[in-house]
Chain A
Amino acid sequence: MKISKLIFLFLILFSFNSLNANEDKLKTEITKNLRCLVCQGQSVYDSDSEFAVSLKLVVENKIQQGLTEDQIYKFLTDKYGEWILYDPKFNKNTYLLWFLPLLILLLGGAIIVKKLIKIKK
């Protein structure tokens, strides 16, 4: 009887821990991707400014309300614009940002291939 009670207690403790750990991990992940608007150069996760402290609390509340990561980002970009995200979403304002490195890579590759063909000839 005692053993079953102990097992039950452990099960409860561990199930609580894993839930909190998951939520905590998500909170860390989200706040690391948020820019602290009053202390530029720092993420909300790293900052202890009044704004960042409140924002961490809001993210925590939203996670507890059952919102997904994307829903929380949507909520915050509605309030503060795309700038609050370190990892901006793909849209008409950011497509150059996403494609330019790839374009430069392809261009560089093309130049190298052209040179190599020339050398072989």
Chain B
Amino acid sequence: MKKRIISFLIISSLIFAFVIFYKGLNKSSFYQPKSEIEEIPKFFAKTFYSKEEIDSQKFFKKDKYYLLNIWASWCVPCRDEHPILISLSENKNLDIIGLNYKDKISNAEKFLDELGNPYKEILLDQDGTRAIEWGAFGVPETFLIYQNRIVKKYIGPLNQNSFEEIEQTIR
């Protein structure tokens, strides 16, 4: 009887471990943090062209859709998503704001000259601290904002699906 109980316990614990590990195999090892920020974070930043200092709390108007895009000229996926940003910039319901992340201004200017400028305004983040205020951990990342709230967050480059989703939301 005792032997039976022991072998039952061993087998069931092995099955339990197998199920746990098997489920773990299917899980992506790439972690995307669950950000709890819903509102526009407080920060100050200089603008790309006029070098004026802006306050994030006063910068975004309530009755408009904004797309905040964190980008850099050295970031390859940013090049991929740039045509999508250009197409989105044609929509009058949306203002695209760039957050230029840890970049050289001359390189960023070249990037925009080459690929076009979809941004209504570009903010500078030369030490990367503003991106952290947004809960970002890399480039590119994009936030759809309405009424000072973050409606949707896109980690990685925008694609056709996200383009359609944004167009539908702001319609």
Contact = CB atoms under 8 A, between A and B. Distances in A.
Interface of A: 37-38, 40, 50-51, 53-55, 57-58, 61, 77-81, 83-84
B129 interface: yes
A53 B131 CA distance: 12
B35 A80 contact: yes
Interface stretch (B20-28, B114-122, B132-140): B132-140
B128 A81 contact: no
Interface residues of B, number: 18
Contacts of B137: 37-38, 51, 80
Contacts, number: 51
A37 B132 contact: no
B37 A79 contact: yes
Contact of A81 (B36, B131, B134, B138): B36
Contacts of A77: 36
Contacts of A54: 102, 127-129, 131-132
A55 B132 CA distance: 7
Contact of B33 (A53, A58, A61, A80): A80
Given A37-B137, A50-B102, A81 B33 contact: yes
B129 A37 contact: no
Contacts of B35: 79-81
B138 A51 contact: yes
A28 B152 CA distance: 34
B129 A79 contact: no
29 contacts: A37-B33, A40-B29, A50-B102, A50-B128, A51-B137, A51-B138, A53-B128, A54-B102, A54-B127, A55-B132, A57-B127, A57-B128, A57-B129, A58-B129, A78-B37, A78-B135, A79-B33, A79-B36, A79-B132, A79-B133, A79-B134, A80-B35, A80-B137, A81-B33, A81-B34, A81-B35, A81-B36, A83-B33, A84-B33
B59 interface: no
A57 to B, nearest CB: 6
B128 A79 contact: no
A83 B132 contact: no
Contacts of B134: 79
Contacts of B36: 77-79, 81
Nearest to A51: B137
Given A37-B33, A81-B33, A84-B33, A61 B128 contact: no
Contacts of A55: 132
